[in-house]
Structure 1
Amino acid sequence: MSSLVVKMATEMPVLRAGGKVLSTAENRLGHLVPTDPTIGIAAIRERYEEHGYVWLKRFLDPDAVNAFRGWVFGHLAGAGLIEPGSDPRLGLAAAGGGDPQQANRILMSLVRSVAYEGFCAQPRLAAFMDEFLCGISYLHKRKIMRHTMPGSATATPAHYDLVYLHGGTNRIVTAWIPLGDVPVEMGGLVYLEGSHAIGRKMESEFAAQGAGLSAEERISAYNRNMTEGGWVSKDLPDMAERFDTRWLIAGYEAGDVMLHSPYMIHASTANESTGWLIRLSTDIRYQNVDDEIDARWANHWSLGDML
């Protein structure tokens, strides 16, 4: 599998999101700090509480992750996304870009598959989440798999996850899993340093503003007191300035697992892969099974489900 390993960037790159370029100043851009999964659950939980995230390096078997990546792209090849004749594990984008609508239809099938469910519920991850959540962990049925084509301006605006999970507990843990290597220039997740405190403050303000709303409106990320689409902002450079903090970036590898707080503000940047590789990832959410579950997340992910 060594031929599939993508060289990780070590210098501060030029990153773009929402048509803006992130500042590379030391006080505006930094690096996420990885965690060795063998340090023990207490130390991992302490880091998560302190920083709002924990980046578990090589937690999963990289070969298994790359094999699953190949399985996904093998199916997406049916939409013309993959360069004909190339190894699907590479995720080498076809020159024509393929049929996006057909690709989305295929993804909607893949997230309902036994293979995908098995990948998300693999024993090591399930056992870890039981321990991390101090009880039996519940994996939300609504699970998302995203692909981003190279050269596309597509990037996820800044947000925190609890905005979309108001119908249940606030003790949610998101696991973001890169499906294959995601060097910095391919636009993986970026985190606003210290923003789990900012997210809590925003959530408190939204709750106060929503006191007069109906129960249905209060849980919606699209109610009249929320920002557009539930986003905090599409302007990442402005956010770093406004909160006087840094965006934290990383070059992720197959096998890495990122856990983050439901209050942690995060976003993605554009995929500017010079090797014309497609970024692929999945984000899934856990909670203790004894806590209240948002019923809207008890259905499979569907495009346009407004979550």
Structure 2
Amino acid sequence: MSIAAKAAEMRTMQIPLAAHGKTIPAERLGALTPTDPAIGIEAIRRRYQEDGYVWLKGLLPRADVIDFRRWVFTRLAETGLLEPGHDFALGIAAAEVVDWNFANRRLMSIVRSAAYEGFCAQPPLVRFMDAFLEGISYLHKRKLMRYVQPGTPTATPAHYDLVYLRGGTSRLVTAWIPIGDTPAEMGGLVYLEGSHALGRGMEAEFGARSGDLSPEERISAYNRHMAEGGWISKDLPDMAERFDTRWLAADYEAGDVVLHSPYMIHASTTNGDRARRLRLSTDIRYQNVDDEIDVRWSNHWSLGDML
């Protein structure tokens, strides 16, 4: 391990990361391994297969990501979400009451916008995904954007993505993109080390038990053989103990992109940023256009669409 990587791991282990009221102990925390895109597509693909993820440093132009963050928050500012008097690219959360109905409607407008579509389909990312998938990449129409306020209990429970995409190919790749600098304390994604093998085992177990389900139930995350919402667990410390592994966290920067396997177990932690910055990110799915596509993902994301 390099000196820089060791320092990053030591910092990560010293930050109290929590979710759903439980703090992950330092001995169950580790650092995500960064990858320089310049090592080449074959080496990147090998890392992805071995680790279940690849954290690509600076794949996108940093200035473009910051500009898009500013664009998003400028449009959300009318809802009361942002503290006035600051550059909206900073994303400082307002202390006043937010009009959540207005904020949700505006978020749904943003994810349908040409600007967001262009951000998700920008040339550096498309070129990379074409090479990574060894063909023409297909970007699913259903794309998610999330903002998370500091000091709130909001966190995504542990899960793997194929649970929500069983109606198509399993050769999917999720791209998680932090829209702005996202140090670990802001609650970015954490990955259960080595868990792409665990996810495959869980999915195989589900398949073996699903003979009594209808075709619609077999592809749904909301069937009687799945936990509520398709989640594996909200107890991140317990999961690390149960599987004797660690949660891997990172200080993400604007321009980074993380790709992960549809079997890789991941979650988020609460946003504990002392500067009261909103965490903003998007998670989008790619696959080779020649593989079977889950038709349920051919519509825009809507809150409460049960996917």
TM-score normalised according to structure 2 size: 0.96
Q: CA RMSD in A?
A: 1.0
1:142 deviation in Å?
Answer: 0.2
Who is 1:86 aligned against? 86
1:101 deviation in Å?
Answer: 2.1
Deviations 1:186-221 (A, max 9, x none): 000000000000000000000111122110010100
Cα distance in 1 for partners of 2:97, 2:38 equals 41
Who is 1:222 aligned against? 222
Where do 1:35-50 residues align within 5 Å?
35-50=35-50
Q: Say how many residue pairs are matched.
A: 298
Who is 2:5 aligned against? none
Who is 1:297 aligned against? 297
Deviations 1:49-79 (A, max 9, x none): 0000000001101110000000000000010
1:85 deviation in Å?
Answer: 1.9
Cα distance in 1 for partners of 2:70, 2:80 equals 15
1:128 equivalent in alignment to 2:128: yes
Who is 1:70 aligned against? 70
1:102 deviation in Å?
Answer: 1.4
Who is 1:151 aligned against? 151
1:262 equivalent in alignment to 2:262: yes
Who is 2:15 aligned against? 13
> Aligned letter for 1:244?
D
Gaps spanning 5+ residues in structure 2: where? 1-7
Cα distance in 2 for partners of 1:218, 1:237 equals 30
2:109 is paired with a residue whose SS is helix
1:10 is paired with a residue whose SS is helix
Who is 1:117 aligned against? 117
**Bigger mean CA offset, 98-107 vs 65-74:** 98-107
> Aligned letter for 1:272?
G
Who is 1:237 aligned against? 237
Deviations 1:254-281 (A, max 9, x none): 0000000000000000000100000000
1:282 is paired with a residue whose SS is strand
> Aligned letter for 1:150?
P
1:97 deviation in Å?
Answer: 4.5
1:160 equivalent in alignment to 2:160: yes
Deviations 1:215-245 (A, max 9, x none): 0010100100011110010000000000000
> Aligned letter for 2:47?
R
2:282 is paired with a residue whose SS is strand
- Alignment counterpart, residue 26 of structure 2, candidates 17, 24, 27: 24
* Identity percentage of aligned residues: 70
Cα distance in 2 for partners of 1:238, 1:97 equals 35
1:100 deviation in Å?
Answer: 2.1
Who is 2:183 aligned against? 183
Cα distance in 1 for partners of 2:87, 2:103 equals 18
Cα distance in 1 for partners of 2:270, 2:136 equals 37
Deviations 1:94-118 (A, max 9, x none): 1114222211110100000000000
2:145 is paired with a residue whose SS is strand
Who is 2:3 aligned against? none
Who is 1:200 aligned against? 200
Cα distance in 2 for partners of 1:97, 1:248 equals 34
> Aligned letter for 2:234?
K
Cα distance in 2 for partners of 1:271, 1:282 equals 16
> Aligned letter for 1:22?
I
Gaps spanning 5+ residues in structure 1: where? 1-7
TM-score normalised according to structure 1 size: 0.96
Who is 1:5 aligned against? none
Cα distance in 2 for partners of 1:103, 1:206 equals 37
